[in-house]
Amino acid sequence: MSDASESKQQEQGRVVDLFAGPGGLDVAATWLGLDVDGIEWDADACATRREAGLSTFQGDVREWGPKDFPEATILTGGPPCQTYTVAGSGAGRAALDEVLGFADRMAAGDAKVQDDIRRASRDHDERTGLVLEPLRWALEAYEAGAPYKKIVLEQVPAVRHVWKKYREILKGLGYKAECGVVNTEEFGVPQTRRRALLIASFDSEVEIPSPTHQRYRKGVPRAKGVDAEGIYPWVSMADAFRRSKLPSRGRFEVVSNYGTGGDPKLRGRRTSEQPSATITGKVRRNRLVTEGSDEFDRFSYPEAGLLQTFPSDFPWSGGDIGQQIGNAVPPRLAVYALAEVLGLEVKSNDVDAAVEGEWEKTRESKPLANSSPKKRAPSDLALFDA
């Protein structure tokens, strides 16, 4: 890495990643030349992280705070979401209302709110309070006089209401903040997956990343090439496998074994020439039918990880690997979220090379570390002045 790149990395600072999982966001940050400390309680995910050489603190994020990671200037995370994935039901709405109320009380400095959050977690679901942990970290850092320069949070679309509350609170502290729901295939992920992002910066304007690829719509033909605005065609499963070092499968069809919303009558089917449906923790239940064969097969873990845009040789370890993969942030999406908040312009071809490369080599070479600053107003470039 050049002296200028090292200087820029030092200016950007260090990342502390809450609920870090097996390391989706950490992989992206590594490619961008950032150092990351990840906090994760699940022993299986920690086994993968350690095997991948990622800095890991195993335990409950509630046991730590900003004072324990004083060098971190970037806060990221993807807290558990199950409490809010029952959108529309009375229980889901009640949990959401309770969480939003807790957030307001935290922002107001209510000394009793943490006790009430712990009580609600014991009485209902401990994950209810976990979605507020990144806010606690952000508020504690601000109150200590060392606010995080950058914040990136990611979860399922059901959490967008929580991110809107975060945006409101962070703006009240002086942050520029935006939130929204994105489609991962619009960022070159060979999978249709919707995610809610929150992006905030203390020292520059931000926006939700703009798509780099065509959106997948059933029945709408795939684009034949890069269009006038520089948008690439969506990426199919076959594309991802062909570009990897994994054995070729030829043409195949994926049959969901559990159906949309758990309804077996709504089993989805995708061909290898389409993006995958959302990769979940039950990915091994999907059946693969290879052209010319009546035999059923399953995705291997490296293949499932590749559909999440982890390198094909990423060292999955521990148990319940399918769940690790399904829960992870797609590294390719994380690259664009981090690049946006850092004011960096990453090229799609360079991200391709990172995803398609060998993990150990890209971990050492940090292939996106020399990405150029975006063209912004002069006042917004101070972060990158060497």
Active site residues: 81
DSSP assignment letter at 223: P
In the chain the first and final C-alpha atoms are separated, in Å, by: 15
Phi, psi of 259 (to 5 degrees): 80, 155
CA count, 13 A, side-chain hemisphere, 191: 24
* 290-299: long-range pairs with CB below 8 Å, 24+: 290/249, 290/250, 290/251, 290/252, 291/250, 291/251, 291/252, 291/253, 297/252, 299/254
Q: What single letter denotes the amino acid at residue 353?
A: A
Strands 176-183 and 14-18, by their bridges, are: unpaired
Phi, psi of 36 (to 5 degrees): -130, 135
Are residues 379 and 201 in contact, defined by beta-carbon separation less than 8 angstroms?
Answer: no
Nearest to 29 by CA among 89, 59, 72, 79: 72
Q: Is 349 left (phi over 0), alpha (psi -120 to 50) or beta?
A: alpha
